[in-house]
Structure 1
Amino acid sequence: MHKVITSTLLACLLSFSAHSCQLRMGADSYFPPHLIPGGNDWQGLSIELAQVLAKEAGCELTILQSPWRRSLQLITQGQLDMLSHLSFSEQRQQDFLFIGPHHLETVVLIGDPQRLPALQKLEQLASWSKEFLVAILNGAYYGEAFEQLSARTDFGPTLVEIRSHEDKLALLDSGRVDAVLEDQSTLYYWQQTGQMEHRSYQQLLVVYQNPVYFGFSRHTISDEMAVQLDEAWQRLYQQGVLQQIRARHLPELPLPAPAAIF
């Protein structure tokens, strides 16, 4: 009788443990091929990677739509558990545990080369006049070199902060901005899906390259849970599961090797 009760209790505890691991992931409205909303049915590379990671770690994943800057705030308030595409910094390490990386982010300047001054290196961007408008994502990090350059008093182009990735191509098409800073993988997506047809936009300059991670909130995720998530990520990598998902979306770009930062 005692063994039966013990076994039943253990089963209940395991069931409770599995269902008590709830991961709330903040997602911007539209960031192809990584985040593609469809009502309650989100799709995209980052979504699929997050789903298999949560399942392997014994967790349930809920996607909550939220602009990037707002998501960063919700993490610190304990209302979200994770984000994708998080660059590492010592400041962010105060709030985040970094699992992955899940993508090698390559930020490029995109625009019409027939309408814009030619660029060979990042420093030349400062010479553009104020008349040129460049859209950037509010709260995004584009590397220390760009941060220092854009803070200079003689920095030329006007930076236009927008709330989501969704608006960038529309802003270019409407002529409200002359160029955008965007991940190279999004440019590939636009090209592969025919969205660049009859458009003259091209990659003008590589601005920044850096691995990005799934960032888990230190306010809601324990160290033990972080280890469990990291071990799950490494198992999936060793089994080739992550690489298979990656190949369906971005066959041109390999998945970085695991290198978590706690």
Structure 2
Amino acid sequence: MPAYIALLLVTIIFTPQTWAAPCEKTLRIAWEPFSPYLVNNADGSMTGVDAAVVEQVLKEMQCSISWHYMPWQRTLIEIAKGSIDIAAAASKTAARQEWMYYSDVYRNENIALFVRKNETANIEINQLIDIKDIPFRLGLVSGSYFGKTLETALKNQDFQSKITWVVNTDQLPKMLHAQWIDGFITHKAVGYDLNNKHNSSSEIDVYPIEISNDPLYYIFSKKSISPQFVDEFNRTLQAMKTDASYQQLLAE
């Protein structure tokens, strides 16, 4: 047997194939309205940096994909079950690591507390936990994680009593302008974008307290995706990061 054929057979037999196996099927990616990072267009295509990065990485890996709309809380449930393979813009927590894999960091979040602009001066808090001591209704998306500052505050029962939970982020600006809540927490760019789309005649403001600037990751279901696949995803992602176009993509 020629040496090169023997080498090829050894490669086929002993090279791990599990990372490539998911690409034998269409990978299922969850999404919800998260403009400007994740946008569903009229033609069904997805744009925004969160979509562009994952689509380019999976294209390089020769994987086909399908996008599936669902609220974030359901996304986490479906990732845990293995009926969704991938989701974007996830923070890393110890609990989540039990049932999902994480990509390498692909961008950082910028989390802000939004309030009605004409009321900013009337709100007297020095840190997020101070909301427990004032008349204030805070809107949050169920299942969201916005850093340790908020998680610590949520352990306080008086703070918890101020929370109004919602299913989707796009509900929050509408509720703020309808005066159903007094403020909400989300990504800074997302909050402004939603307000411009749905409440362009009203103004919102970012209250000047620090909440989170943590790294964000793509997440993968441990039920449907192998660690070898995630390793290959990360190698492809890191190769993309060396290209100047990647930084331009993040800046858009």
Range of TM-score over shorter length: 0.7 to 0.9
Alignment match of 2:128 (pick from 122, 128, 132): 122
Q: How does 1:53-202 map to 2 (within 5 A)?
A: 53-115=57-119, 116-129=122-135, 132-155=136-159, 158-189=162-193, 197-202=200-205
5+ unaligned residues in a row in structure 1: which ranges?
1-5, 249-262
5+ unaligned residues in a row in structure 2: which ranges?
1-7
Partner of 1:255: none
Deviation at 1:38, TM superposition (A): 2.8
Letter in 1 for 2:203: S
Partner of 2:37: 34
Range with greater deviation from structure 2 (227-236 or 156-165): 156-165
Q: TM-score with structure 1 length normalisation?
A: 0.79
Measure the CA separation in 1 of the matches of 2:170 and 2:226.
33
Q: Secondary structure at the match of 2:82?
A: coil
| CA shift in 2, pair 1:93/1:168, >3 Å | same
Measure the CA separation in 2 of the matches of 1:221 and 1:156.
35
Measure the CA separation in 1 of the matches of 2:40 and 2:146.
24
Aligned residues: 232
Measure the CA separation in 2 of the matches of 1:43 and 1:165.
18
Q: Please report the RMSD computed on the Cα atoms of aligned residues, expressed in angstroms.
A: 2.6
Q: Secondary structure at the match of 2:158?
A: coil
| CA shift in 2, pair 1:156/1:128, >3 Å | farther
Q: TM-score with structure 2 length normalisation?
A: 0.82
Letter in 1 for 2:101: L
Measure the CA separation in 1 of the matches of 2:24 and 2:37.
27
Letter in 1 for 2:132: A
Deviation at 1:183, TM superposition (A): 0.5
Q: Deviations over 1:155-195 (max 9, x none)?
A: 3762111111121111122222111111112245358x676
Deviation at 1:154, TM superposition (A): 3.2
